[in-house]
Amino acid sequence: SQQGEEDPQALSIQEGENATMNCSYKTSINNLQWYRQNSGRGLVHLILIRSNEREKHSGRLRVTLDTSKKSSSLLITASRAADTASYFCATDPYSGAGSYQLTFGKGTKLSVIP
């Protein structure tokens, strides 16, 4: 079963707008990771946020984590056509949960219209 669930499934915006994607999960985690996948390509790691962190930035990316709500969000500011891709969250479960592997959601497909 998939731990992380992204929302929305698809998002279409104009170039220059901000894009927000959300991820919800079910069990305690060590960290949460966001990935980007361009069509037909592999997964590229974007940001890792640990369970004791609330917010993290990398360039135009901002990730927040709310462990009380078991949710995370990825904000892409001033979007570009090159940001068109699928975005996945992956949860690294707390070791006490008996699992050692990242589990992925089905992703959010972002389309940025020039």
Partner 1 sequence: NAGVTQTPKFQVLKTGQSMTLQCAQDMNHEYMSWYRQDPGMGLRLIHYSVGAGITDQGEVPNGYNVSRSTTEDFPLRLLSAAPSQTSVYFCASRARRETQYFGPGTRLLVL
Contact between 76 and partner 1 by CB under 8 A: the answer reads: no
Q: Which amino acid is at 88?
A: F
Contact between 63 and partner 1 by CB under 8 A: the answer reads: no
> How many chain residues bind partner 1 (CB under 8 A)?
23
Nearest-angstrom CA–CA distance, 95 and 97: 5
Among 11, 32, 107, 112, binds partner 1 (CB under 8 A): 107
Residue 50 or 80: the one with the smaller Cβ distance to partner 1 is: 50
Smallest gap, in angstroms, from Cβ of residue 2 to partner 1?
Answer: 6
Distances (CA, A) of 78 to 9, 11, 61, 62: 20, 15, 10, 12
Residue 30 or 111: the one with the smaller Cβ distance to partner 1 is: 30
Q: Which amino acid is at 95?
A: S
Cross-strand pairs, 103 = 91
